[in-house]
Chains A and B, each alone.
Chain A
């Protein structure tokens, strides 16, 4: 009797309702996110030989990755590229977001946001490929400059270089950085800016003392949104780097598919993930600091 009553209470409780409501999403998340991740972690602890994956668990793969010259170098290159891309993207995105938020008439803002997202109507692959057309050896820039007689032979620094990869990635993620910064700027109560001036500060100082700190959550969100996917980017090094400047994702592909070593590939993937996690956590903590005191 008592048990039945308890069960009845549970069924009617908010907790049960909540669980019931969240279960489709939870099942989806477990099957498509957690399960593959667990598989990769499991693979990384096995040894892949001609006959198949071993059943015993070992850290050998990780040792190989962490001490391997190539893996270290590629990981460092990935970190450098994604850090620079993040810096460039956020620095360029902030003025755009600021302009739309503060200088575009309210009724025009949604149109501006709409226009900013237009590049996303074509696939990422095509956009990257178009940069190859622009920056390539026989691309628009080189042939243009040559036909104008400014250069005699194609510039090689604009193709197959880290610089061109950074340019491509910064363009590809621009809107992702603009949107969160725009949202955080939109949330700033405009009377705070008037208060800053009323208390004797110029417009520039009001920006530094009020607008910038209040928009930091958006900046940090933008940093995460750009940093996390670019560190694992595969397409740009392949197409713009011409395969000569591989990043960590290209390394994983080579090991996993070309050398058919799922275990070692998984270990590299998990390592990369851990590094991303560490960087993200640092930024999340920073974000917490800035978010503190902003919830009304």
Chain B
């Protein structure tokens, strides 16, 4: 199933937001599909949280429109919107028990007391907190609070669940575990999830589509693979993962592709979808992801092309080793990541190395 078949759940139409003179959101246009796991990714201050809060109704917009399920939200207050939020601080009510927190939004629910209690118990079970109902909220760990916040929001069966950096306060292990659980949970309940995060890895792991934001604008909106393989600007490329850049020059443009001469790599022909234009004022560059370059060992031969270089730095990561290699004829070293395989020694600084590469794996920005 492709996302294009699904109806729109959220639509931003030229959304602007000013705080006094500060232009926080600068013309956001995007649609989020029903049932999608959508992420707003960007550095702090890029407006991603502000945008999320315009969906929840905590932030008025200065101009434009926010639609949820084809309905304009201009005059709909936060408590009447079909959205629920998991706050960055979790916002667990400290004076209530876990049960009371989860059941907070059920006050006007017409169901009987017993049915509500059953719903609360089910919600707690869904997030893996079975039997925690009677505990005081302050006696919970960060990960447990997170789960309570999730149960409290999902019990109301919202059309959209908003998550404001929900995992940033957790330590690495629990964070990774929660990422997987959130993905599973989203598939299970089928609700549209909108996640705000500054962690590119988290966004790549969890999302169906990602909007990368800088300075109040969406720089690129695409699925994780496209974002990683074909970033549309150097800024996006740098924000998502690592990318090596080398100066390049366009020799000729034709129907068959673009002839390029790149420092250290020589001449190559690129297809037009590999070339991202629109970065005025900066010289053209070609960009490589570290894993698209391979250091060749004695008996190996390159499948495509090969250049020579000298290893300048070695960073050992256990499963991976990062090498900084200065290719002959280049001014700056390139970062190359190699998976550590049994029987393949980690190379030393100063070693001459053959580097295999392929023109198909790079992107050009001009």
Instruction: Using CB atoms, name the residue of chain B closest to A199.
Output: B105
Cross-chain contact B95 with A191 (CB below 8 angstroms): no
How distant is B191 from chain A, measured CB to nearest CB, in Å?
15
Q: Which residues of A contact B80 (CB under 8 A)?
A: 200
How distant is A34 from chain B, measured CB to nearest CB, in Å?
36
B109-153, CB < 8 A from A: 136-138, 152-153
Cross-chain contact A296 with B56 (CB below 8 angstroms): no
Residues of B in contact, count (CB < 8 Å): 28
Q: Which residues of B contact A189 (CB under 8 A)?
A: 89, 91
> B85: CB under 8 A from chain A?
yes
How distant is B135 from chain A, measured CB to nearest CB, in Å?
10
A179-202, CB < 8 A from B: 189, 191-192, 194-202
Instruction: Using CB atoms, name the residue of chain B closest to A206.
Output: B79
Q: With the chains together, A292 CA to B135 CA distance in Å?
A: 12
Q: B62-104 CB contact bits vs A (8 Å, 1 = yes)?
A: 0000000000000001111001110111010111100000001
> B107: CB under 8 A from chain A?
yes
> B172: CB under 8 A from chain A?
no
Partner of A294, one of B84, B95, B107: B95
Instruction: Using CB atoms, name the residue of chain A closest to B56.
Output: A198
Partner of A195, one of B93, B95, B108, B156: B93
On whether A194 and B137 interact (CB within 8 A), knowing A201-B107, A202-B79, A214-B95, the answer reads no
> A210: CB under 8 A from chain B?
yes
Cross-chain contact B87 with A197 (CB below 8 angstroms): no
Cross-chain contact B89 with A296 (CB below 8 angstroms): no
Q: Main secondary structure on chain A at its contact with chain B?
A: helix
Partner of A197, one of B78, B95, B153, B156: B78
How distant is A211 from chain B, measured CB to nearest CB, in Å?
11
Q: Which residues of B contact A196 (CB under 8 A)?
A: 104
> A25: CB under 8 A from chain B?
no
Cross-chain contact B84 with A198 (CB below 8 angstroms): yes
Q: Which residues of A contact B94 (CB under 8 A)?
A: 192, 214, 293-294, 296
- With most chain B CB atoms within 10 A of its CB, the pick from A195, A202, A294 is A195
> A119: CB under 8 A from chain B?
no
Cross-chain contact B93 with A210 (CB below 8 angstroms): yes
> A144: CB under 8 A from chain B?
no
B35-73, CB < 8 A from A: 56-58
How distant is B95 from chain A, measured CB to nearest CB, in Å?
5
Q: A196-223 CB contact bits vs B (8 Å, 1 = yes)?
A: 1111111001000110011000000000
> A67: CB under 8 A from chain B?
no
How distant is A160 from chain B, measured CB to nearest CB, in Å?
45
Q: Which residues of A contact B88 (CB under 8 A)?
A: 191
Q: Which residues of A contact B89 (CB under 8 A)?
A: 189, 191
Cross-chain contact A198 with B93 (CB below 8 angstroms): no
Partner of A200, one of B95, B108, B137: B108
Cross-chain contact B136 with A293 (CB below 8 angstroms): yes
Q: Which residues of A contact B91 (CB under 8 A)?
A: 189, 191-192, 194-195
Instruction: Using CB atoms, name the residue of chain A closest to B89.
Output: A191
Interchain Cβ contacts under 8 Å between A and B, 21 examples: A189-B89, A191-B88, A191-B89, A194-B56, A197-B57, A197-B78, A198-B83, A198-B85, A199-B79, A199-B104, A199-B156, A200-B80, A200-B105, A200-B107, A201-B107, A214-B95, A290-B95, A293-B137, A294-B94, A294-B138, A295-B138
Sort A-B residue pairs by CB-CB distance and give the 6 closest, nearest first: A199-B105, A195-B91, A191-B91, A197-B78, A197-B79, A293-B136
